[in-house]
Structure 1
Amino acid sequence: MKNVCNVVQAMKPTLLMLVVQVAFAGVNIFYKLAVNDGMNLKVIVAYRFLFATTFIAPVAVILERKKRTKMNWTILFQSFLCGLFGGSLAQNFYLQALSLTSATFASAMANLVPGITFIMAVCFGLERLNLRTTSGKAKIMGTLIGIGGAMVLTFVKGKDIEIGTFHFNLLPEKGAHPQVKATAGGAKTVMGALCALASGVSYAFWLIIQAKMSERYPHPYSSTALMSLWGALVSIMFALFVERDWNQWRLGWNIRLWTAAYAVLIVGIVVSGIMVVVISWCIRMRGPLFASVFNPLMLVIVALAGSTMLKEKLHLGCIIGAVLIVCGLYMVLWGKSKEMKRNNQLVPAHNTHEDEFDRVEVVVRDEVEDKSNQKERDKNGEKVSGDYHEDRKLEQNSHVPSQSNQGRDDENSNNTVFCT
C-alpha cells in the first residue's frame, strides 16, 4: 500500500499537468462554439477577466495581506502593461485567429511563443545568442524550425486527412455565423495567422514584463490580481467602444450560456486562477521545463476534438506544420534547459572549492601553531608554574576525572584544532 501511495505521489505533477492541458483544450472548443454562434469576441474576453478578477482578488488579499510589498507607480505601470499585453491584446488577437481559421490552427500557432520570446529577449538584451555553444545553436535552430512550421501551416494545404467522426456534431447544421465567414479563401488563413502571430508577440511581451515585475513585486497572487484587473478594465472599455449592441452581453439558454459557464467562469476562475496555482506548484516540484513539455498535448486534443466534433478538416500541410512547430518548441526548451544546467553547475562548483580551501587553510594553520607550541614546551622542559597546576587541578575536580599532564596537553591541543 505504501508503494502505491509513493507511485501516486510521484505521478501527481504529471496527472495535474494533464488536467491543465485538457482544461485549456476545452477552452478552445467552447470558444469556437461561441464564435460560431455569433457571440462577440470582445465580450468573451471582457467576461473572462471580469470573473478572474472577482475570484483572484480576495485570494490575494487573504494569502498575501501581511507580506505584500508596498505599492509604487513603477509596479502599477508594469501591472498595467501585463494586463494590456498578456490579457486584453493576447486574448483578443487569439480569439480573432480562432474565428478566422480553426481551433487546431490557433492551438498550433500558440506553440510559437517560446521562440518569439527568445527573439524578443535577444533584441532587448535579456538573452545572448551564444552561437559557439550547443544550447545557443539549439535555441536558434528551434526558433527557425518553428517559424518554418508556421509558414507551412499557413500556406500549404495538401491532402485531406480523415480521422473519423461521432454520431453527434456540436456545430449547428445551419453553418457558421456571418462573422466567421467574413473573410474568404486563403486571405482568411493569412489574416488568422497574422492575428495568431500578434497574440504570440503580445504574450511574449507579457512574459518579459512579468519577469521584471516579479523582481520588484514577488507576490504571484497579488500580481495576477493586478493583471486581471487591468485586463478586465481594458477589455470592457474596448468591448463597449466596439460593440454597442447590449444583446451581445445577454446570456440566453444556448451555447453562449455554456460558454459563459465554461469559458468565462471556468476560464476566468479555474484556468486563470486555480490552474495558475497548479502550474506554479508543478514548476516548483519539477521545474519550468517539465511544465512546458506538456503544451503540445493541448494541440493534439484540440485537433482530435475539432476533426471529430466540429467538422474541421485536417490537411496534410496542417499536420506537417504542427509537427515542425512542436519540434521547434522542444529544441528551444532543450537548449534553454541545457543552458540552465551549465549555469547551475558553474556557481556551486566555485563555492565548493572556496569552502574546501578555507577549511584546509584553517586546519593547516592550527597544526603549525600546535607544533610550534609543542617545540616551546620541549625547550622549557615541559615545566608548568604552580598556579597553573592549581588551576588545572580545580578544573580536573569540577569537570574531568584524574588524567596525566600529557593527556591534558593532548586534549588541549585537540580542542584548539576543532574549536578553531
Structure 2
Amino acid sequence: MRNSGIMKDVIIIGGLISTQFVYAGNAMLMSYLMSLGLQCFTIVIYTSFATFLILLPFVLYFERSKWPKRISFKLMVQFLLLAFGGVTLFQSLFLKGINLTSAAMGTAMPNLAPGIIFIIAWTFRLEKVDLRCTYSRVKITGTLLCVLGAFTMSLMQSISISLPIEGLKVQSTTPLPPIVMFDREKIIGCLYLLASILVLSVAVVLQAFTLGEFPAPMSLSAITSFFGGFITTAAQLIEYHEIKTGWSLVSAGDMIGYSVLSGAVNGIGLSFSAWALEKRGPVFVSMFSPVGTVCSVIFSIVTLGDSTVNIGSIAGMFLMFTGLYFVLWAKGKEDGLESEFDAEKPLLS
C-alpha cells in the first residue's frame, strides 16, 4: 500500500511537471507562429472549435446526467458572458501580449490570477478577510508581492540598454553612460497580458456562480468554447471583413492540424490536472504553475536566444512566485480549518 501511494505521488508530480512543460512549448509555438504574421483571432477560432469537438464525446458520456432539465435565460447569458470574456477577450488579449513580449512573459502573468481573484472575491464579499488573522494578512502580502513582481518583470522586459555612439566618445574626455530606452511595444504587450489576466480572473468568479446552477465543468468548457468560437469569428469579420490567417503560407488544413493538436494537448492537460486536483487538492496543483514559466525562459534562451530575459526579469519572476506561494499557503491553511461540507467555503477553494 505504501509503495502504491509513493507511485501515485510520483505519477502526479511527474504529470504536473510534464503538463507545464507542454504548456510552455505550446506558448512558444504560438509566439513563433504569430511572429510570422499569423492572426491571433484565427488561432482562437480554430482552437475553440477544436476544443469543443474534442470535449464533446467526453461531455456526453460523463456529464450528460448533470445537465439541468431546462436552461434558463440567466444561465444562457452567463454562458455568453463566459464565452466572450473567458475565450474571445482573454485569449485574444493574451495572444497579442505574447506576440509583443515573449512566451516567458505570457506564462508568468497567469500567476497573478490567484491574487486578483482574491481581491475580486474580497470586494464582492465572497472571500472572508479578517485583518487580525495571520492567514488574511499573508494573502494580502502575497497579492502585493505578485503585483510588484509583475510590475518589475514588465519594466525590465521593456528596457533596452545601448552603448553611446563612438563619435561622441572622441569629443568627450569622460566616458558617456549607456543609453537606457523603453520599448513601447513591449510595454503595450505587458498591458495586454495584465488586461487578459484581469479578464480571466473576472471570468473565474463568474464561472464559480455558473457552476452552482450548472454543475458540469467539462460541459461548461465545451459550451463556452463553442460560443467563443462564433463570437471570435464575428469579431474578426467586423475588424477585417473576412476570415484570414494573416500568413499566406498557412492553409486551412495546416490550421486544422495545429488546432486539433493544440486542443488535444489542452484537453489532456486539463483532464490530468482535474484528476490531480481531485487526488491532491487545488493548492498542490497550483504550486506547479511557475514550472511553465521556467520552461518558457529556458526554451526562449536555448531556441531563440532571447536577450530580454535578464537579472531584473528573473527578480520579478521570483517576487511573483513568492507572492503566489504566500497566497496558496494561506489558502491551504484556511481550507484546512473549513469544513469540507461548509456551504460558505471560500471561493478560491
The question of a shared fold, defined as TM-score above 0.5 by the shorter chain, is answered with yes
Q: Does 1:196 align with 2:190?
A: no
Gaps of 5+ in 1: 161-183, 348-420
Which one of the candidate residues 312, 319, 328 is aligned to 2:323? 328
Q: Does 1:291 align with 2:285?
A: yes
- Could you say which residue in structure 1 is the equivalent of 2:347? none
Q: Does 1:186 align with 2:180?
A: no
Measured in 1, the distance between the counterparts of 2:77 and 2:58 equals 22
Structure 1 counterpart of 2:55, which letter?
I
- Could you say which residue in structure 2 is the equivalent of 1:229? 226
- Could you say which residue in structure 1 is the equivalent of 2:260? 265
Quick check: which has more Rg, 1 or 2?
1
Gaps of 5+ in 2: 162-180, 343-349
Q: Does 1:104 align with 2:98?
A: no
Q: How many residues align?
A: 320
Indicate the percent of aligned positions where both proteins have the same amino acid.
Answer: 27
Measured in 1, the distance between the counterparts of 2:3 and 2:238 equals 57
- Could you say which residue in structure 2 is the equivalent of 1:156? 156
CA contact (8 A) 2:89 2:196 kept: yes
Specify the SS of the correspondent of 2:339: helix
Q: Deviations over 1:139-193 (max 9, x none)?
A: 1000111111111112236899xxxxxxxxxxxxxxxxxxxxxxx9422222111
Q: Does 1:40 align with 2:39?
A: yes
CA contact (8 A) 1:96 1:192 kept: yes
- Could you say which residue in structure 2 is the equivalent of 1:279? 273
- Could you say which residue in structure 2 is the equivalent of 1:56? 55
Structure 2 counterpart of 1:153, which letter?
M
Q: Does 1:305 align with 2:267?
A: no
Measured in 1, the distance between the counterparts of 2:254 and 2:21 equals 17
Q: Deviations over 1:297-326 (max 9, x none)?
A: 000000000111023111111111111111
- Could you say which residue in structure 2 is the equivalent of 1:377? none
Q: Deviations over 1:97-119 (max 9, x none)?
A: 11111111222222111111111
1:225–1:131 Cα change, 3 Å: same
CA contact (8 A) 1:53 1:232 kept: no
CA contact (8 A) 1:112 1:200 kept: yes
- Could you say which residue in structure 1 is the equivalent of 2:68? 69
Q: Does 1:215 align with 2:215?
A: no
Deviation at 1:244, TM superposition (A): 3.8
Q: Deviations over 1:195-239 (max 9, x none)?
A: 111111111011111111111111122212111112111111112
Deviation at 1:280, TM superposition (A): 1.2
Deviation at 1:257, TM superposition (A): 7.1
- Could you say which residue in structure 1 is the equivalent of 2:15? 16
1:328–1:123 Cα change, 3 Å: same
Measured in 1, the distance between the counterparts of 2:19 and 2:334 equals 27
Measured in 2, the distance between the counterparts of 1:239 and 1:125 equals 37
Q: TM-score by structure 1 length?
A: 0.71
Structure 2 counterpart of 1:325, which letter?
M
Measured in 1, the distance between the counterparts of 2:187 and 2:64 equals 47
Deviation at 1:13, TM superposition (A): 1.5
CA contact (8 A) 2:85 2:203 kept: yes
Measured in 1, the distance between the counterparts of 2:131 and 2:66 equals 42
Measured in 2, the distance between the counterparts of 1:218 and 1:246 equals 35
1:333-372 paired onto structure 2 within 5 Å? 333-344=328-339
1:25–1:259 Cα change, 3 Å: farther
Specify the SS of the correspondent of 1:238: helix
CA contact (8 A) 2:142 2:327 kept: yes
Measured in 2, the distance between the counterparts of 1:186 and 1:209 equals 35
Measured in 1, the distance between the counterparts of 2:73 and 2:330 equals 36
Q: TM-score by structure 2 length?
A: 0.84
Measured in 2, the distance between the counterparts of 1:63 and 1:97 equals 36
1:133–1:196 Cα change, 3 Å: same
Q: Deviations over 1:1-40 (max 9, x none)?
A: x876553233221122122111211111101111111101
- Could you say which residue in structure 1 is the equivalent of 2:203? 206
Over aligned residue pairs, what C-alpha RMSD do you find?
2.6
Structure 2 counterpart of 1:269, which letter?
A
Measured in 2, the distance between the counterparts of 1:342 and 1:36 equals 48
CA contact (8 A) 1:93 1:198 kept: yes
1:42–1:185 Cα change, 3 Å: farther
CA contact (8 A) 1:251 1:257 kept: no
1:132–1:88 Cα change, 3 Å: same
Q: Deviations over 1:29-85 (max 9, x none)?
A: 101111111101111111110111122123212322334222222222212222122
